Structure 1
Amino acid sequence: MEKTVFFYDEQKLKCPVTAALEVMGGKWKPIILVVLSEGPHRFGEIRKRIPKISQKILTQMLRELEQDKLVSRKIYNVIPPKVEYRLTELGNCLEPIIDQVYQWGVKYTVSNVPIPIISGEKELPN
């Protein structure tokens, strides 16, 4: 099947693959999406699961994912303040895609040995 690629006004139409990768791609967003696929997490919990990410970058990535409607933020009216991040319905749709990208990465890496990049009991998908 031939696929159509759009390159008119970059702000309005673009290649669907490029658009998808811009939203979920990068160094940290896929890992954040994997962590949130397990359920709601507070900021500190996400940071503990991704030890090498800085607070500034995690904040920036969560804001971008929220703007792209993949992640929602729930603020509880309690003291001390409590905020939880969770995948939206749109974000949950990415789970099988991320699993497939992971499998592709394992198959095509030089060592063929998956390297865990998040900490905790749940590893990345097999």
Structure 2
Amino acid sequence: MIVKHLNDIVNTKNDIDAETWNSRRLLLKKDGMGFSMHDTIIKAGTETLIWYRNHVEAVYCIEGEGEIEVIGGQTYPITPGVLYALDGHEKHLLRASKQLRMVCVFNPPLTGAEVHDKDGVYPLEAEIQ
């Protein structure tokens, strides 16, 4: 059984603070669950280009307000209780009008060493150097 508390992750190597977001990585590949799970903050007033070309992601909003714009497609509002799943590797813009707090699940699971490239892509584990 795995038991963790968010307070045990904040301000550690598994608390990744980027320019527009902050990802507290609760479960990673090393935990052996077959997915990774993250408690993520999207900073208010920001826009982030993301394209999980190598992963699928499900996101559940628990706090805040914003929107996701699929490049070349629709824009969807994000408020508490909204879930979206990027099952088609959609390239998108994520905007937070108020700070968003989201629970994010990735498959394949992240190792914790991933960094978005210029296109917003996380590399596959084999591509991480």
TM over 0.5: no
Higher RCO, Cα 8 Å, sep 6+: 2
The structure with more radius of gyration: 1
Give the TM-score of the pair, scaled to structure 1. 0.29
Which has more helix, going by share of residues?
Answer: 1
